[in-house]
Structures are given as C-alpha cells and as structure tokens.
Amino acid sequence: MAMTDRNAGPDRNAVTEGNDVPEGSTVPEGNAVTDSTGRKGRVLVVDDDRTNRMMLTYRLEMAGLETATSENGLEALQMLRESDFDVVLLDILMPGMDGYATLDLMKHDQRLSHTPVIMMSAVGDLDSVIRCLEMGAEDYLPKPLDHLLLISRVNNILLKIRLEQVERGLGRIADAVQAMAGGALPAGALDQLTEQTDSVGRLARQLQQLAVVTSER
C-alpha cells in the first residue's frame, strides 16, 4: 500500500479533522471499493502543503485505497497523463497553477476529462463551490476536511465507476448471447471480460465454455 509523495513542501495546518498521524504507525486495510479485477481505487492528492498531503494519504490508505501525491497542478497533469487514477483530490489555492486552472485543463484534455475531481479549499464561499461544479468537478469539500465524509465521497465515486463497469460488461454478455442464438460467438466478443474476477467475469467464462461446446457439436 504505497504512498508516493514526489515533493516536500512547507508544514501548515492539517487538512483533516482528528488526530495527527502517529509516528511509526501502520495503516490497516479498509473496505474500499475495488474494480472488476480486484484492483483498489487509486487517488491522486494534489496539495502544495506537505502536511496536508501526508494526512490525506494516511486517511485514504487507512480506508484501503492506493494513493499518490503532487504539490502543484503542472506535476499533477503530468502524473495523470502517465498513469491512471480513479479520483483526484485537488486543492484550489496553490502557487503557480491553482486548482481552477488545473481542473480547466483536465476537462479540456480528452484523456483526462472523465476523471472525477473532488475540489477542496478553506475558501468555503458559495461562489467558489458553484464555480467548481460548473467547471466539471464531481464534488467540493471545505477544509478542514471531515475524514469520514472524505472517504464516503471517494467511495461513492468509486462505486459509481464500478457500477458503470458492470453495466458495460453485462451489455457485452447480452450481445454475445444474442450472437450465439443466431449462430456462433464472434471471435473476441468476450475478451477482457473473462479475465475479471467478479461475477461478470465468471458469467463470461461460462458463456465462452458453452460457446466452445456448442461449436464442437
């Protein structure tokens, strides 16, 4: 359960309410939502404050999530283009490229535009909240963050992603069943689905086996 922090910044107030991270502590496994292959959700934490990054990653990893961190918008964009993340926690007030500019660039990048972003800021005025949501943010959380609310919001996003994956998988299986009823299963119709460890994957493997038996008759 690796926590990656590329940079160290100035120490300021912790971003979450509650006790500080105990020195030398271990992070227990949580019950976070996993994808169709059993992979844990990956969260990119973007905040210029080192203490905030450490506290957020501790809370997220304690909930069973994988994390990586960035201290600024430019680095975050580079990391997002180099690796896949399920959710981005993005601070608004950062030197250089702030959260607004980072969010705007993400939403205008075809590859990154669908990545859910949770904005966070000590600036809790309604105009800021509305601006973030209108720009395409999935959610907005005021600092100091309630860590239970944070985990709940992240898991809700992961669950939504997971349900969309299941829906797409079942759609492909339905198409395969229809194809078999009309003749034979097209080559590659169930590719990738058979590698999944969930119920959709098991159903795909059973259907593929049935297609083989049927074709041999």
Residue that wins the pLDDT comparison between 208 and 87 = 87
Is pLDDT of 86 > 60? yes
3-class DSSP state of 76: helix
The pLDDT of residue 39 is 73
The pLDDT of residue 37 is 61
CA pair distance 168, 126, nearest whole angstrom: 36
Examine the domain organization and report whether 128 and 56 are in the same domain.
yes
Examine the domain organization and report whether 73 and 145 are in the same domain.
yes
Q: Is 167 within the bounds of a domain?
A: no
Examine the domain organization and report whether 141 and 63 are in the same domain.
yes
Q: Is 166 within the bounds of a domain?
A: no
Which strands, in side-by-side order, build the sheet including 3-5?
A: 3-5, 66-70, 42-46, 87-91, 117-121, 139-142
Examine the domain organization and report whether 75 and 151 are in the same domain.
yes
pTM above 0.75, yes or no: no
Q: For residue 67, give the nearest of 78, 49, 77, 54 by alpha carbon.
A: 54
The pLDDT of residue 130 is 94
Examine the domain organization and report whether 94 and 185 are in the same domain.
no
Q: How confident is the model at residue 170 (pLDDT cuts 50, 70, 90)?
A: confident
Token pair belonging to 161:
């992603």
- Of 161, 180, 206, the residue that ends a domain is 161
The pLDDT of residue 72 is 96
The pLDDT of residue 26 is 39
